[in-house]
């Protein structure tokens, strides 16, 4: 790919987006962040990035892309609450489908060289198939959030076919690390760490035997940087391929935070996927990406960061 000098990061005040911004600035790339601060925070913003407090669903957003003409756009902004997407699918679609479509159209008009889309692996598959899921398996999203991510991938593919606009859709597994919001409904590691450090009770949904594929945020940033540099286009899974039970996560974080929390359970969440993991061999082959942060190391860094927060 030709040299990248300018980037836009949507959702750059959020958890994953802000780490991507930091990595770009380190590489001396000029960065503009577009974020409406709905879940993101000003303190996550890199002071060397330009900041536009604008929603991706607003008419101003395509104008910013056309004015700045970035070489690459990292699209991380999204309504990320799955339950909210079920309660209000129209609101979810306005941001997650129409926002992504407006981005793709403006990017094509502004001759952007590549879009890197934060998609979701966990939202694409259900217990109907056995993990680890590969990109070859048919996506069967069951929530409006997952449907919107799939629609985003398909629109990006449409713009690739019709306008020659390259894209990489990175389907993340369960990402964790510093700056993750511990007040949301997702992000079990952030929620457990945040609450345990404050001595607040933690409850495991159901038996805790349900599994997820946890990938550390630095590895996710690395996948984004490789996606920017390499010539690949298409969908790539970004996880570890390993399943970890939620009760194991409970035990590990409990041990890191003093081990005082009794193990308590809530009723199981209706419709919750029981097992999940991503087969990431395609990303290894085409992007030369593989995760390098071991879970114990990632958990330790995450708990350390939460400990420093007030």
Ligand X SMILES: NC(=O)c1ccc[n+]([C@@H]2O[C@H](COP(=O)([O-])OP(=O)(O)OC[C@H]3O[C@@H](n4cnc5c(N)ncnc54)[C@H](O)[C@@H]3O)[C@@H](O)[C@H]2O)c1
- Nearest by Cα to 125 from 285, 235, 249: 235
Closer residue to ligand X (CB): 223 or 256: 223
Beta-carbon neighbour count of residue 42 at 10 Å?
10
Closest approach of ligand X to the CB of residue 258, in Å: 26
Closer residue to ligand X (CB): 39 or 302: 39
Q: What does the per-residue mask of binding to ligand X show for 112-131, with x meaning CB under 6 A?
A: ------x-x-----------
Closer residue to ligand X (CB): 104 or 162: 104
Q: Which stretch binds ligand X (CB under 6 A): 71-79, 100-108, 196-204, 292-300?
A: 71-79
Count of residues of this chain found to bind ligand X when the rule CB under 6 A is applied: 30
Closer residue to ligand X (CB): 11 or 208: 11
CA distance 12 to 9: 5
Q: Which stretch binds ligand X (CB under 6 A): 7-15, 21-29, 136-144, 281-289?
A: 7-15
Q: Which two tokens stand for residue 153?
A: 């991938």
Closest approach of ligand X to the CB of residue 18, in Å: 8
CB 182 within 8 A of CB 241: no
- Beginning with the edge strand found earlier in the chain, give each strand of the sheet holding 50-52 in spatial order: 50-52, 30-34, 6-10, 72-75, 114-120, 167-172, 234-238
CB 125 within 8 A of CB 211: no
Helix (H, G, I), strand (E, B) or coil at 118: strand
CA distance 283 to 39: 29
Catalytic residue (one of 133, 145, 172, 216)? 145
Beta-carbon neighbour count of residue 125 at 10 Å?
26
The only residue of 7, 13, 49, 82 in contact with ligand X, by rule CB under 6 A: 13
What is the 3-class SS of 142-175, one letter each residue? CCHHHHHHHHHHHHHHHHHHHHCCCEEEEEECEE
With b for 16 or more beta-carbon neighbours within 10 A and e for fewer, the 294-308 pattern comes to ebeebbebbbeebee
Q: Is 36 a residue that touches ligand X (CB under 6 A)? A: yes
Closer residue to ligand X (CB): 185 or 259: 185
Q: What is the CA radius of gyration of the chain?
A: 19
Contact set for ligand X, span 152-191 (CB under 6 A): 172, 174-175, 181
Asked about 133 being catalytic, the answer comes back as: no
Closer residue to ligand X (CB): 109 or 185: 185
Q: Is 81 a residue that touches ligand X (CB under 6 A)? A: no
Closest approach of ligand X to the CB of residue 31, in Å: 14
- Nearest by Cα to 64 from 108, 15, 8: 8
The only residue of 9, 15, 112, 216 in contact with ligand X, by rule CB under 6 A: 15
Q: Is 20 a residue that touches ligand X (CB under 6 A)? A: no
Q: Is 95 a residue that touches ligand X (CB under 6 A)? A: yes
CB 16 within 8 A of CB 76: yes
The only residue of 55, 100, 257, 302 in contact with ligand X, by rule CB under 6 A: 55
- The contact set with ligand X (CB under 6 A) reads 10-11, 13-17, 34-40, 55-57, 76-80, 95, 99, 118, 120, 172, 174-175, 181
Catalytic residues: 145
């Amino acid at each position: 790919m030709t040299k990248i000098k300018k980037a836009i990061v949507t959702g750059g005040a959020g958890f994953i987006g802000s780490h991507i911004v930091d990595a770009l600035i380190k590489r001396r790339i000029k960065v503009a962040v577009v974020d409406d601060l709905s879940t993101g925070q000003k303190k996550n913003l890199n002071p060397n990035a330009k900041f536009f407090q604008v929603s991706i669903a607003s008419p101003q957003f395509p104008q910013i892309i056309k004015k700045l003409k970035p070489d690459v756009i990292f699209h991380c902004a999204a309504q990320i609450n799955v339950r909210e997407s079920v309660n209000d699918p129209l609101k979810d679609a306005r941001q997650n489908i129409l926002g992504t479509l407006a981005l793709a159209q403006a990017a094509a008009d502004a001759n952007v060289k590549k879009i890197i889309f934060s998609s979701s692996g966990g939202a694409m598959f259900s217990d109907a198939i056995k993990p680890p899921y590969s990109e070859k398996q048919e996506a069967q999203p069951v929530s409006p959030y997952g449907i919107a991510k799939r629609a985003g991938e398909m629109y990006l593919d449409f713009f690739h076919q019709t306008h020659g606009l390259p894209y990489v859709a990175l389907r993340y597994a369960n990402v964790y690390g510093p700056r993750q919001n511990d007040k949301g409904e997702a992000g079990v590691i952030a929620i457990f760490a945040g609450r345990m450090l404050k001595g607040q009770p933690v409850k495991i949904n159901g038996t805790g035997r349900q599994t997820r594929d946890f990938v550390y945020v630095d590895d996710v940033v690395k996948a984004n940087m490789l996606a920017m540099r390499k010539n690949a286009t298409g969908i790539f899974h970004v996880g570890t391929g390993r399943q970890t039970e939620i009760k194991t996560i409970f035990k590990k974080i409990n041990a890191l935070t003093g081990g005082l929390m009794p193990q308590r359970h809530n009723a199981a969440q209706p419709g919750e996927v029981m097992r999940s993991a991503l087969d990431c061999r395609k990303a290894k082959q085409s992007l030369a990406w593989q995760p390098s942060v071991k879970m114990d190391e990632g958990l330790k860094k995450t708990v350390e960061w939460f400990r420093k927060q007030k």
